[in-house]
Copies of this chain bind each other. A is one copy, B any other.
Amino acid sequence: MAGAGKKILALSGGVGGAKLALGLAQELPAGALAVLVNTADDFRHHGLHISPDIDTLLYTLSGRSNRAQGWGIEGETWQVREALAALGGDTWFQLGDGDLATHLLRTGLLAEGQALSAVTARLAQAMGIQSAIYPMAEEPVSTLVHTDEGELPFQHYFVRRRCEPAVSGFSFRGLDAARVPAPLQALLASGEVAAVVICPSNPFVSIDPILGVPGLWQQLAALAVPVVAVSPIIGGRAVKGPAAKMMAELGLPVDAAAVVQHYRQRYPGLVSHVVLDNEDAALADALGQSGNEEIAVHNTLMKTLDDKRQLARDVLTKVLKNVLPEARR
């Protein structure tokens, strides 16, 4: 155990992962959280580079997110969308005016030749965020969802088709050529990472692309620090998003144990700790006997900010047993 480590590295997709990341950011000292974010559902729309999961982290950690809606910015306005609709333009991906400013700044800086990690750092700084936010790769990676309607780019499947087509698998175009961004590489080499937290994000389209960046999961395993996986499935349901529906369509049991099995098979030896929801306490014994992870049971349903902070505290103090001794405020 790297007790000398000073940072928690969280792996996150969009909304579900961002909730725990927010809890961790508020429970940890300033600067002690780094979040590694899925970019395989990045896409171009109206010529703009849109990074939905990074944006969700930016808006959530800066306190700007629209919590009731589950995406976008609180108090958003829609002037451009209205004008675009009046011109007959595509409006299936809802571009709010404030959100557009993020996309415009990102797209412009990328066009100037800046790396996505540098652009993301600049956006985080502009929004007053003290945690580091890293894209999983500088290079573009694109999730294709294999469905009964053919291979759909992720946002088409997710937003335009509302996750309705039945899923048979996934591929990640560009992933083989992706490399860990330099600032993340520096963090991994620094000896400062005390633990890794796999947030309760979709295992197939959020966590798998991150851990699929060539060499990354082996590098995380080689850190020899605790790796905590928090299940996104509670009582056979996904709190948000299509994870449960995908599991059923893929022929998997729809429960937290199947998520753990998925990680065991793909990344053998990586996960050292599992957090199940209280509702799934009955799964803990069998899971513990079939593998080497320490299984913990906590409330993982994060409805309020208190829920998020409580789960973060449980992970930091009970699961990780204060690997960051100075962490608690």
Contacts and interface: CB of A to CB of B under 8 A. Distances in A.
Contacts of A108: 45-47, 89-90
Interface stretch (A77-85, A296-304, A317-325): A77-85
A19 interface: no
A101 interface: yes
A102 B123 CA distance: 25
Nearest to A83: B101
B80 A104 contact: yes
A284 B115 CA distance: 60
A79 B97 contact: yes
A101 B123 contact: no
Contacts of A113: none
11 contacts: A47-B47, A47-B49, A47-B107, A47-B111, A79-B79, A80-B100, A84-B101, A87-B105, A87-B123, A88-B122, A89-B105
Contact of A101 (B80, B105, B127): B80
A78 to B, nearest CB: 9
A2 interface: no
Given A100-B100, A126-B88, A46 B83 contact: no
Q: Please give the count of copies of this chain that the complex contains.
A: 2
The SS class assigned to the A binding surface is: helix
A86 B64 CA distance: 13
Interface in A52-106: 77, 79-80, 83-84, 86-90, 95, 97-98, 100-102, 104-105
A160 interface: no
B86 A101 contact: yes
A77 B83 CA distance: 11
A189 interface: no
Contact of A97 (B83, B90, B107, B126): B83
Given A46-B107, A46-B111, A89-B104, 20 more contacts: A44-B111, A46-B105, A46-B108, A47-B48, A47-B49, A79-B79, A80-B80, A80-B97, A80-B100, A80-B104, A83-B101, A83-B102, A86-B101, A87-B101, A87-B105, A89-B105, A89-B108, A90-B108, A95-B104, A97-B97
A46 B48 CA distance: 8
A110 interface: yes
